[in-house]
Amino acid sequence: MVKKDKAVQRKKEQVKKLVEGAAMGLGFFVLFGIMIIPGLREGMGTALDVVLGPLAAFVGPDNFLITIIILAVITGIYTSVIQKYTMNWELMAKSKEYQKQIRELQKELMEAKKEDNKHKIKKLEKKRAEVMRKQTQFSGEMFRQQMKPMAYIGIITIPIFMWIWEYVGMYSGGAVIFPLIGAKDLSDSFIFSFPYWVLWYMICSIPITQLIRKAIGIKSGM
């Protein structure tokens, strides 16, 4: 009975890893595909217009900044939920604790060097090396934990961005009024060739996502 339960559990884990691998592969295909496959961006934008086009029409072309706020809320919700349920938060907390220990040991080491306490320096260096060795042991898994939600998120977020890009390209309403900075065309660049709609999305998305993360119990800095 125990062997059977273990076999079932092992099979479930294998299926889970297979699904995760497929999702991550699709996510990275979407992420890098827009840069190397001609027409993919336009195709994504056109396909998603079936869903988001009516939203933009309901809000109104002249109120497209409100449409972006709505999309920032939507992306903030699913981004936070995906991060909450795909990342190993115990592992993240452990890594954070190791980083804290290394900083504290570095501080103590500097003080010991000022005092020229060779015995203490040797002891602290040995302890720091041990902590760094432990941190390095699961650095690969840490990288995987950080990349996994990015792949899932990219499957949805990148097509949304492609739709906005295409919609703005066809936008005929001219300049819109941005808070504080005044009238700007959505497609005009503000820095590093990023259009103003990206700036507006970031301004809306960051505080909204932080509130959602707090609401569902994701601690800040994790």
- For residues 56 and 64, the answer to whether their CB atoms sit within 8 Å is yes
- For residues 17 and 23, what is the distance between their CA atoms, to the nearest angstrom? 10
Give the tens place of pLDDT for each residue, 120-159.
888 888 888 888 777 776 676 777 777 777 777 777 888 8
Burial classification of residue 22, based on how many CB atoms lie within 10 Å of its CB (0-12 exposed, 13-18 middle, 19 or more buried): exposed
Give the tens place of pLDDT for each residue, 175-220.
777 777 777 777 777 776 778 888 888 888 889 988 998 888 876 5
What is the C-alpha radius of gyration for the chain, rounded to an integer number of angstroms?
24
How do the domains of the chain map onto residue ranges?
A: 2-215
- For residues 184 and 201, what is the distance between their CA atoms, to the nearest angstrom? 14
Q: Which residues contact 59 (CB under 8 A, 6 or more apart)?
A: 66, 67, 70
Predicted TM-score of the model (pTM) = 0.68
Give the tens place of pLDDT for each residue, 82-114.
888 877 777 777 777 888 888 888 888 888 888
